[in-house]
Amino acid sequence: MHDDIPLTIGRARRVLDERILPEVHATAVPLDTAWHELPGEPIAPAEGLALTFEPYEVGTPWGAAWGTTWFRLSGTVPAGWAGQRVEALIDLGFDKNMPGFQCEGLVYLSDGTPVKSINPRNQWVLIAEQAVGGETVEFFVEAASNPVLLDYHPFLVTQEGDVRTSSPKRLYTSRRMDLAVFAAEVHELALDIDVLLELQEELPQGPRRMRILQALDDALDALDLQHIPGTAPAARAALAEVLAAPAEASAHRISAVGHAHIDSAWLWPVRETIRKVARTTSSMTELIGQTDDFLYGMSSAQQYAWIKEHRPEVYAKVKDAVAAGRFLPLGGMWVESDTVMPTGESIVRQFSQGQRFFEREFGIRPKGVWLPDSFGYSPALPQLMRRAGFEWFFTQKISWNQVNKFPHHTFLWEGIDGSRVFSHFPSMDTYNSRLSGSEVAKAARQFRENRLATGSIAPVGWGDGGGGTTREMTGTAARLADLEGSARVTWEHPDAFFDRAKSELENPPVWVGELYLELHRATLTSQHQTKQGNRRSEHLLVEAELWCATAAARTDFAYPYDELDALWQQVLLQQFHDILPGTSIAWVHREAVERYAEVADRLEALIASALSALAGPGDRTIVVNPAPSLQSGALAQSAILTTDVAATTAVTLTEADGGIVLTNDLVRVVVDGRGLVTSAVDLTTGRDAIAPGQVANLLQLHQDFPNMWDAWDVDRYYRNRVEDLVDVTGLRASVDADGTARVTVSRAFSESTVTQEITLAPGARTLEFAQVTDWHETEKFLKVAFPLDVRAEHTIAETQFGAQKRVTHTNTSWEAAKFETSMHRYVLVEEPGFGVALVNDSIHGFDVTRDSVDGHVTTTLRLSLLRAPRFPDPETDQGVQTHRYGIVIGTDIVGATAAGTAMNTAVRTVTGAHGFDSLVQASGDVVVSAVKLADDRSGDLVVRVYEPGGRRGTGGLAVDGPFDEPVEVTLLEEIDPALPGVAAITDGVAAFPVDAFEVRTFRFPRRGAAH
């Protein structure tokens, strides 16, 4: 036979697009339309329905950026439509390629009942399954005119990302607001043809593909293009045989779950996300009602809480669908957070706040962590997931790697302590599947565990900006349930998939360490004030819990459960993976900084109130130490009178060779006339931390224009162009009254200025740098370099409850790809007998290079300070920015942990009658992470500790308060018989062994309380 394949395919595609699809709603009449444009922020639905409406003509532009327009649509069902399915068709000016990224709306009935959303891929609203002729119709659309910021030419500079700078111009022009008959058989024919066209595209030349193509020709021959509704059944009959052919016995199995992945903020503000969640969940509950087997999954307790508060009528439908087992709460977290930058306590609270909400509202605890789109995953997570009771982990983002293809899809992920969690990546490489032929074929073809396992997960639906699953997708799934040449598709709860995968893979492959994303590396630096606010809030929250718990144990102070929960939830929200990483629009980051300031004010008030209760009335000055180690003469988490603080020897400051020498009992530092550190000697060992002939505290400015994803990415070639900022505009030195030596350095470069206060305190190993930068650069990257005289095989960077090692060489492509990596409060390099750490108060990104001259190795650490991308926020980091960082001269991992903690947990002074002892005393090889009262409000004390050094040891805890002997609990503060508990209690000290980087949580029952 002649090869007519291209002719058949071209014929089918044209007939489908130009003849069949338009006939699905061909019989239509226009609705009467009226509108009301709101001048400001959105209003409640009840207020919207009560607005005064003016006549509106379809085709009239509507909606300035971030505006809301209420439309009232009304009409009468024609008599001839009786008994047919009637739908409303609403096209607000949609681009079908941008669901979730442009205008969208939520439909309400006149009585306030929510119906479903409308968006570019979901423009219909059911009016009646069997219409009654002459029946009147009225409904309303709350339409949001969100601007398109990620357009066909992406990453263009725009001021539309903030309501304060956006244009008042109307953005959209409506095209259609009609009542229409839904031609169900035509719709089904369109799905039949679409599925078969996409399937044959993936098939090899052979009988199956040829028979599909012949069936398509036969169907099109049976179809009268001038009478499509009447001949659609005959066309479908011609396709029935090829659609009925069953899949092969060995066909890959796809476990589909409806999905929308609604970013809690990104190219829209939080207030718009609240409405996106309501719109999407309305459509998903409607689709659940229209289908028998469709399952929709949604993560993020915060998003459920939003619709409960702001759209209770939508939430009622969600609760019903959850109870029916069709709407699936997933993930068990407050939001789908970044997992690289938040502290360990923040990750614990993501889990505890999320699981508490899901259990309270639905009686459900999700079994797995669902994080499809975060930008890399900390190696501390496996332990935390397991200790919070999770059984599995799901993500997709690692498929975005620039260089290396991840070798597994279903595997065990091992963390820094040795804990392992069963994990899965969808082999179709997307969390926004539409079940296209290419996606389904890809899932089967590249699944790495095909030898032993049978399937993968497919999150199905339009996402990022919401929208979710469509009826076209559920129709596709029905056809792919058992179809020759295709993977089998079944709607299935992820729990069921993971149970089956575990049974199939008795000895799964193991991946050890971080899941590093070889992309979006600049998210560790963009939007510095957002990151700074997060870091400060995290430490203030833990401090507030400590003092409130101490005061509640020793006085009549009432522990502020509700306020602490609310403040944690605000901070957890802002750890979402497009807020904390600095990749959202200006509006989002402006609000984030404002919220952090409010959180700080409220926490400072709580701390002041608790300390006032503890110190008693008086005017004596008291030093309060919230850190888990000695500071300023005060023991860990205690307070002393300033009269009890021992005197210290002042740092000597001398001038020599045009530079300044700072010396205390432990270190000697030389700062040259340019404000650069030329020497930093550990007086105990005689070792100089600075490499011979080099200078530290060297600010370096790079050109920074990545290939794409401006706020997200930094590409390796940024290193090719660098300017060393060595010129000074001022330098002076002095010694403070407390004996601290201070060198002040001023610089100017390009359009910006920098002032540094370099300080060395008495008895300190840390040379500190307090930097104020007035930053006015464009597409630049600011770093500060420390070339260290250390032959380090690894960097050791703090992560949640421990540290992770990364090699300093680039032997393989995996290592070379990690040219920008993460840390928390410190990064350490060491060789036997000597180590140097950099500590910071708000920095998360760094890089390392390894150089050798005549066999002498220098390890250079550079902290990442500021960037200046222009998309999506053209003013990113502009203006005054502050940093604190330091070099710890002669230390190890335990010392680096203490120094990093001290930089982030400063002592404070208060007035009162007396100091007070710590509530909890930790001993041995553990560090206290949290002291708080139990979430269940029993009054029990919860103490969390961890081993920071990466070695086995012992720990001890003693409590000076009205509490009984402790029991070990999970991160959710619940007893688990599998936990080892304490080994012995001697003289009030509970002793226990700890493994490397192990996290342990103990609950001390309140004495006399009922349990």
So which residues are the catalytic ones? 373
Q: Are 970 and 386 in contact (CB under 8 A)?
A: no
| Partners of 984 in the β-ladder | 991
Does residue 14 sit in helix, strand or coil? helix
Pick from 947, 926, 995, 991: nearest CA to 965: 991
Q: Are 922 and 956 in contact (CB under 8 A)?
A: yes
One-character DSSP codes across 22-79? HHTT-SEEEPEEEEEE-SSS---HHHHHTS--EE--TT-EEEETTEEEEEEEEEE--G
d(CA 363, CA 297): 16
d(CA 371, CA 386): 15
Distance of CA 400 to CAs 373, 375, 396, 430, 872, Å? 10, 10, 8, 10, 20
- Look up residue 931 and give its two tokens: 């002291």
State how beta strands 455-460 and 253-258 pair: parallel
Q: How far apart are the first and last CA of the chain?
A: 82
Residue 1001 belongs to what H/E stretch?
Answer: strand 999-1004
Backbone angles phi, psi at 661, to 5 degrees: -110, 125
Write the single-letter amino acid at 155: F
d(CA 759, CA 756): 9
Residue 921, CB half-sphere, CA atoms under 13 Å: how many?
13
Pick from 919, 922, 918, 976: nearest CA to 944: 922
Cis peptide leading into residue 872 (ω within 30°): yes
Pick from 51, 711, 574, 63: nearest CA to 273: 574
Backbone angles phi, psi at 432, to 5 degrees: -125, 50
Residues 6+ apart with CB under 8 A from 826: 797, 798, 837, 838, 839, 840, 888, 896, 897, 899, 900
One-character DSSP codes across 420-466? EEEEE--TT--SSB---HHHHHHHHHS-TTTTT--EEEEEESB-BS-
Pick from 260, 300, 299: nearest CA to 279: 260
Q: Are 491 and 477 in contact (CB under 8 A)?
A: yes
Residue 207 belongs to what H/E stretch?
Answer: helix 207-222
Residue 124, CB half-sphere, CA atoms under 13 Å: how many?
19
Neighbours of 3 (CB within 10 A): 7
CA dihedral 515, 516, 517, 519 (to 10 degrees): 180
SS3 string, 113-152, reads CEEEEEECCECEEEEECCCCCCCEEEEEEEEEECCCCCCC
Write the single-letter amino acid at 279: R
Pick from 997, 979, 973: nearest CA to 351: 973
d(CA 350, CA 60): 46
